[in-house]
Chain A
């Protein structure tokens, strides 16, 4: 088999696995939500009644809304309709609160905020962490190494939202340097202007910092571990014995070999990153998906909650697929099928 064919086969296999996993996890989430006792619409109406003293002829409304919100019929009818709408029309159903706006529209207006914040923060923390880890591993045993490594050990498991809380306290209240909430100042108009962009950057500093601060240390620990185990390998000894410059050894032999497992780790931990980020958004009243989820929970908006869960799963699985497809480009071993 030529190497091109091999890559093609590898990629097709990955894509098929991806589609199956996506389908199964969507089905599981769907069934799981239906297993929860109690009717979502009755629940929603009761909430309206309690909080806003709406008194309505409950039963009529429940029946009417069930049809409109796509919650009518037995489990199988609901399921097949939902899957059809989802895969053929990319339709997640109407939101309860903002009826008849479909859930995907709500999500789409929020998604750019989350992706920008989370994407940038994750990339920054991964790069800083990996680079710092490689350098610490290279300079292992020095005072610099042990100090930073001890700090990393302590910090790496602190949940993002706790870091966010401390940062808000310190930099927004005790020393009011940065804003404590929202993605931009209330007076600024949303358009492509210098004012808007600088306001967004200014407001995103604290939430991004809380993600970077905690997760960079995790990447640092794993990169340092990788570096030190690479230093023990024969090929590195050979490279050094050949008299290669330290810079070249660090770049070509250590960094390159450490990158692949680090990238795998990044793909593996995406779900975890997403989990933590929703709460960071909550702490900062950030207008992203986390904020929408909080809003939906508060108003028991069933379709929106379901839509956000599916969207999160979709994002994480797709990011994993992209990682899998990029592997052959960075790892020659997969390219030649040695693995």
Chain B
């Protein structure tokens, strides 16, 4: 009984999210479609490739134009571009999500410690966070990727180390403003331990902001991952949208007019970024009512 009530309430609030922000609605629909494509990758690729791997070269003729059989054509090694695109999309999203999750975990932990202890601890952790934000991390990432052979997991870890600061800053700012709210004052006056206040009162209310931080971190990680791959760094045996862009640029697909090789991965990336950004803005509109008035969408 209790559970169905909760479920109903949950569904209702999800529905009201949808009603309250156009940006959120559009973003969620876009992202769901993208995720669906990535999830259906084995099925679609099984159909196109008949059991061969998407990276296997010489399966079809080189540089075929888009057709019914190959909706996005084939590339310089005779690989089906749609199959490559779906596999790349899957891995790009996977790396982004995994790196983003680790980054958010680090960021939220640092922000909570900062907010919980305050004073000197906050000063130190906050300057570290700001330092990470200010320092251009991309050249450092490049150096690491140039000297270490990264696999899927180390890649995620390295990306996470360089993208946690965004969520740390966002969550810290919210914790600081939440500490001033009346109900926290009330909890303090009623003799709650500050540990209880931090983890029982403040953090649960932070969920939407942690999710925003997560989305920021995912975008940051995908930005960096794609950048590395465009430069031709990172694990070569794992397909990625950035790697596809790198191939299209280095093998001269543009100069012979095969724009599809470049437009497909770049377009997919743009759609992913736009959908994530719209969800973020939507969440901000919903949970930051001052902003809702402002965006007016």
Binding site for B on A (CB under 8 A): 21, 24-25, 29, 32-33, 36-38, 40, 43, 140-141, 146, 149-150, 153-154, 156-159, 161-162, 165-166, 168-169, 173-174, 180, 224-225, 228-229, 268, 270-272, 274-276, 278-279, 282-283, 293-294, 297, 300, 305-306, 308-309, 312-313, 316-317, 320
Q: Give bound CA distance, A312 to B273, whole Å.
A: 26
Q: Is B219 an interface residue (CB 8 A)?
A: yes
Q: Give bound CA distance, A295 to B243, whole Å.
A: 18
Distance to closest chain B CB from A60 (angstroms): 23
Given A157-B274, A159-B269, A300-B146: A271 in contact with B231 (beta carbons within 8 A):
no
Which 8 residue pairs spanning A and B have beta carbons closest together? Answer: A275-B138, A157-B277, A274-B136, A271-B136, A309-B139, A36-B147, A312-B136, A228-B294
Contact with A along B117-132 (1 / 0, CB 8 A): 0000000000100010
Q: Which residue of A lies closest to B293 (CB)?
A: A228
Q: Is B238 an interface residue (CB 8 A)?
A: no
Q: List, in ascending order, chain A residues with CB within 8 A of B257's CB.
A: 173
Q: Is B154 an interface residue (CB 8 A)?
A: no
B226 interface neighbour in A36, A146, A159, A268, Cβ under 8 Å: A159
Q: List, in ascending order, chain A residues with CB within 8 A of B148's CB.
A: 36-37
A225 interface neighbour in B226, B245, B278, B294, Cβ under 8 Å: B294
Q: Give bound CA distance, A276 to B219, whole Å.
A: 13
A278 interface neighbour in B139, B245, B263, B294, Cβ under 8 Å: B139
Q: Is B93 an interface residue (CB 8 A)?
A: no
Q: Is B296 an interface residue (CB 8 A)?
A: yes
Q: Give bound CA distance, A153 to B277, whole Å.
A: 8
Q: Which residue of B lies closest to A137 (CB)?
A: B294
Number of B positions contacting A (CB below 8 A):
49
Q: Give bound CA distance, A100 to B49, whole Å.
A: 52
Q: Give bound CA distance, A317 to B130, whole Å.
A: 11
Given A153-B23, A293-B142, A297-B142: A162 in contact with B231 (beta carbons within 8 A):
no
Q: Give bound CA distance, A317 to B131, whole Å.
A: 9
Q: Which residue of B lies closest to A305 (CB)?
A: B143
A169 engages B259 (CB within 8 Å): yes
Q: List, in ascending order, chain A residues with CB within 8 A of B277's CB.
A: 153-154, 156-157
B281 engages A279 (CB within 8 Å): no
Q: Is B266 an interface residue (CB 8 A)?
A: yes
A316 engages B147 (CB within 8 Å): no
Q: Give bound CA distance, A141 to B274, whole Å.
A: 23
B227 interface neighbour in A159, A271, A317, Cβ under 8 Å: A159
Given A21-B131, A157-B273, A169-B259: A275 in contact with B144 (beta carbons within 8 A):
no
Q: Give bound CA distance, A316 to B42, whole Å.
A: 45
A173 engages B259 (CB within 8 Å): yes
Given A159-B269, A306-B143: A154 in contact with B134 (beta carbons within 8 A):
no
Q: Which residue of A lies closest to B249 (CB)?
A: A283
Q: List, in ascending order, chain A residues with CB within 8 A of B263's CB.
A: 169
Q: Is B91 an interface residue (CB 8 A)?
A: no
Q: List, in ascending order, chain B residues with CB within 8 A of A294's CB.
A: 231
B254 engages A146 (CB within 8 Å): no
Q: Which residue of A lies closest to B140 (CB)?
A: A309
Given A33-B143, A293-B139, A309-B140: A268 in contact with B133 (beta carbons within 8 A):
yes
Q: Is B291 an interface residue (CB 8 A)?
A: yes
Q: List, in ascending order, chain B residues with CB within 8 A of A40's CB.
A: 147
Q: Which residue of B lies closest to A294 (CB)?
A: B231
Q: Which residue of A lies closest to B147 (CB)?
A: A36
Q: Is B60 an interface residue (CB 8 A)?
A: no
B231 engages A297 (CB within 8 Å): yes
A316 engages B135 (CB within 8 Å): yes
B295 engages A149 (CB within 8 Å): yes
Q: Which residue of A lies closest to B278 (CB)?
A: A153
Distance to closest chain B CB from A8 (angstroms): 23
Q: List, in ascending order, chain A residues with CB within 8 A of B127's CB.
A: 21
A159 engages B147 (CB within 8 Å): no
B254 interface neighbour in A173, A306, A320, Cβ under 8 Å: A173
Contact with A along B86-106 (1 / 0, CB 8 A): 000000000000000000000
Q: List, in ascending order, chain A residues with CB within 8 A of B136's CB.
A: 270-272, 274-275, 312-313, 316
Q: Give bound CA distance, A308 to B136, whole Å.
A: 11
A168 engages B254 (CB within 8 Å): yes
Interface residues in B224-245 by Cβ distance below 8 A to A read: 224, 226-227, 230-231, 233, 245
Q: List, in ascending order, chain B residues with CB within 8 A of A180's CB.
A: 254
Q: Is B32 an interface residue (CB 8 A)?
A: no
